[in-house]
Chain A
């Protein structure tokens, strides 16, 4: 019974992993670019939720939307101010740009919020459900379900809508897209907004169910890498499957080996993937 609980908990957390990883994979697939600060976007989403709850007294819908919007705007700003320029430059500056950004955001958060772990005060999602002997915090359950829904929604947005096909067109062939009247710059900015927004909402969802500190950015960043590597760079659906799998693996490792070893398992999986199957489950290398 405890194992079932661990499994379910892992899958629910994995769903949120899937959500923020889909943002990372979107940028990779579209622009061949890795955002080393993606984990920090998630972390900022969590703090955005906290600020809304503490200062404006909003409920889950409010802080979720606030986190999404704030990070969406941040993503666009980061693209316009930084990414757009380094894209044309050497690999060194491309990697340094988001890596430096990650440091900047992480340690600014340490400075502003301190290294203490925080959690959201009681919200409408407090409490625990008992389903046949399995105890599930309501917040975790709702967060997981919402995460899966949003990830699928992102996938549908990309594959079934007009704007989605424009984004994919730019990913496929920039010059061809330009000839068709699509502006790559706008689409890429939008992609960054969506990516950061996904991270932001994921952060807000995480905040409802788990405590955190500024250090989680680093951890989530690495989890995003592993998830994207497993699911395939560029595939949102791949991120969904991979996120669930990673959440599951993580939970079971923690259960059987202890909390510290779960990181070793996850990062070890990443290294193994690079060795054996870099294109992941569903992607193109």
Chain B
């Protein structure tokens, strides 16, 4: 970050805006959108670690999201345990899965990893749809009435909003620390040129694995938060391809590989999606995904750095115009 004082100021302003939002906009509708934005930002920022920084494009990240979503509700449905207890379990499973997927594919070229992520996510989705223990095609539900705060079942969205905000803050902080340290440099080196990175002693395979594990941890947490909020999960909402796609497009639109890119993408895309659903009604989802597909292609073709990169290139020009005026 070039201008340190002004960058810090911007971040403080952003944090203040996010903190005060629910108080300023007390309407349940806006709050709901706010929560959705935060959730999308968490998922996308988690994906960003392995997909944006390290350049390992997972298009099946829903595998971690789904595990994180199912674990708390499973704990509740099977044993009556508080969903909160299921969150670490979901993370543990996701980490194990990350290692299983990453270990063989990271020694091959990047495409193998991407294909593997699609296949594994689909595999799990179909499997969960047939497994009665986890509810099969119907899925699982969470507590209807809270027995305590650990059930994570709140009336109204405000508590969820602040919990999600805290998790997002933690994730962005972790990402920021990663960026500054050797790990972050190695991730970017791998993305830029694996061959050169290797020649400089970067342990490529291990670094990729670490990134995937870190990413999986937070993606799983996002899934758990989602399940806590909606109180429901099924194979499609947990492991569906659209869950994976949304993470990717939110991050890529805002700027994959940047700290605030995913948040920016969420701030733009989620309200847009909500608006589209309102306009087009039920049939909207089909059009939404045509739009998603189109946006992804355009980003890939013209602006792989996302809006952040676009802004970085345009702002000196805009500044020049302003000064000249």
A interface residues (Cβ-Cβ under 8 A, vs B): 28, 32-34, 36, 81-82, 85-86, 89-97, 99-108, 110-111, 218, 222, 225-226, 229, 260-261, 263-264, 267-268, 270-271, 274-275, 278, 285
Contact = CB atoms under 8 A, between A and B. Distances in A.
Interface stretch (B18-26, B114-122, B179-187, B209-217): B114-122
Given A82-B297, A278-B108, A90 B304 contact: yes
A81 B297 CA distance: 11
B191 interface: yes
Given A95-B114, A222-B122, A89 B304 contact: yes
B299 A274 contact: no
A interface majority secondary structure: helix
Contacts of A218: 241
8 contacts: A82-B297, A90-B191, A92-B300, A93-B301, A100-B293, A111-B286, A225-B115, A264-B130
B296 A103 contact: yes
A92 B303 CA distance: 11
B296 A100 contact: yes
A24 B296 CA distance: 21
Given A90-B55, A104-B293, A274 B112 contact: yes
B57 A92 contact: yes
A274 B130 contact: no
Contact of A267 (B55, B119, B300): B119
A91 B116 contact: no
Contact of B290 (A33, A92, A111, A222): A111
B6 interface: no
A263 B122 CA distance: 9
B interface majority secondary structure: helix
Q: Which of B114, B129, B300 has the most CB of A within 10 A?
A: B300
A274 B120 CA distance: 11
A140 to B, nearest CB: 25
Interface string B288-325: 01101111111111001000000000000000000000
Interface of B: 51-52, 55-57, 59, 104-105, 108-112, 114-116, 118-120, 122-123, 126-127, 129-130, 191, 241, 245, 248, 252, 256, 286-287, 289-290, 292-301, 304
A104 B40 CA distance: 21
Contact of A93 (B111, B116, B304): B304
Contacts of B114: 34, 36, 95
Contacts of A101: 293, 297
Nearest to A229: B115
A260 B110 CA distance: 30
B172 to A, nearest CB: 20
A262 B129 CA distance: 13
Contacts of B127: 264
Q: Which of A92, A100, A106, A278 has the most CB of B within 10 A?
A: A92
A25 to B, nearest CB: 12
A225 B78 CA distance: 37
Given A103-B290, A267-B119, 18 more contacts: A36-B118, A85-B301, A86-B300, A89-B304, A91-B55, A91-B110, A93-B299, A95-B57, A95-B111, A96-B57, A96-B248, A100-B293, A107-B290, A264-B126, A270-B119, A274-B112, A278-B108, A278-B112
A100 B59 CA distance: 11
Nearest to B115: A225
B123 A268 contact: yes
Given A96-B57, A100-B300, A267 B104 contact: no
Nearest to A96: B300
